Structure 1
Amino acid sequence: MTDVPSLPVTEAVRQKWGWFLALGIVLVIGGMLMIALPLASSIAVTLVIAIVFAIGGAVQIWHAFSVPGWGGFVWNIATGAIALAGGIAVYFNPVVGAAALTLVVAAILLAQGIAQILLAMKIRPHDGWGWVLFAGIVSALAGLCIWFEFPSSAVWVLGLLAGVSVLINGWSFIAIALAARTIGKRLSS
């Protein structure tokens, strides 16, 4: 294994500022689409997850029969059947699935927000750290809003608040990229 010298955050970001900018732009566009189509975003995400669970459950059941003599046969069948049935149920009733997914997304956004706040504190001397902090606060607040509005607005708030969070995350990466580019220009002058 070769040792790769570690670069300061500012230097690493300055060298790859274009990638940070591209990521930010993709996230901003995705966030705007999610905000413009919150119901469609909520249902689409729910349907994808339902399909993944159904296929995963079917494969798990097939796997249980493909490995005879394995001690986990019954549990593999049970967990596969639960995933398959749950995936099918959510697929045919995506509004109920979106409501359940709303709680999961609330928890994810809250955890992501806390992690981003901690990341902001870690990179605090770096230009643009305040945007990462702001993105973390927005993500955490989005998670809390989803949780406290449940279940009445679960169908539309999921797509809307997740879109806002993605949009703000995109702006944070754009801000970091532009700050790194500005620093690079100053250093090369």
Structure 2
Amino acid sequence: MGDVVLTTAVARRYARAFFQAALGADELEQAFADIEVLTSVVADKQVSAWLLDPRAGESRKRDALLRAMKDTGRHFVNLLNMLERRNRLAVLTQLPAAFLVLHDEHHGRQRGLLETALPLIEGEKEALEASFSASTGKQVSLEVRQDASLLGGVRVTLAGTRYDGTARARLNAARKRLQEVELNIG
């Protein structure tokens, strides 16, 4: 469940309802276990594509998920039933990421993504985590990904906010400023 995934407002709303129901019934760890299983199920690209396919009936999707996910808690079963009634089972592809944000928030944690063009020097990741932890008041954990297209610098995505200190972002900003400059020649 380490990947940082962008989620829709709909996915966040259902994740929040599921989270609050489980928390209110003191069944948060069962809900977390259900989400871990769902994460492994939707990680399969064919399953995700099938969940997103409107031609594959909602009740068939729900029944298949219940068979694949044995021993799920009652709140998860209720969630599946509600999503099926509202023709929203496709939301399940984003639900784990949205739920994980709430679970981490509840426990004072926050996950983020640290993208870098070059390998980090020892201690850089920890320094960035400490800096973001101090500014957010939460224990920040960053997943590192290398992306040569960034050219240099780092980009951090945390709680839906992107902090972009990459060379590519600076070049794009300079290009935009140059395009906006009115040239008075002659």
- Is TM > 0.5 for Structure 1 vs Structure 2? no
Bigger fraction of residues in helix: 1
- Give the alignment's TM-score, normalised by structure 2: 0.28
- Give the alignment's TM-score, normalised by structure 1: 0.28
Higher RCO, Cα 8 Å, sep 6+: 1
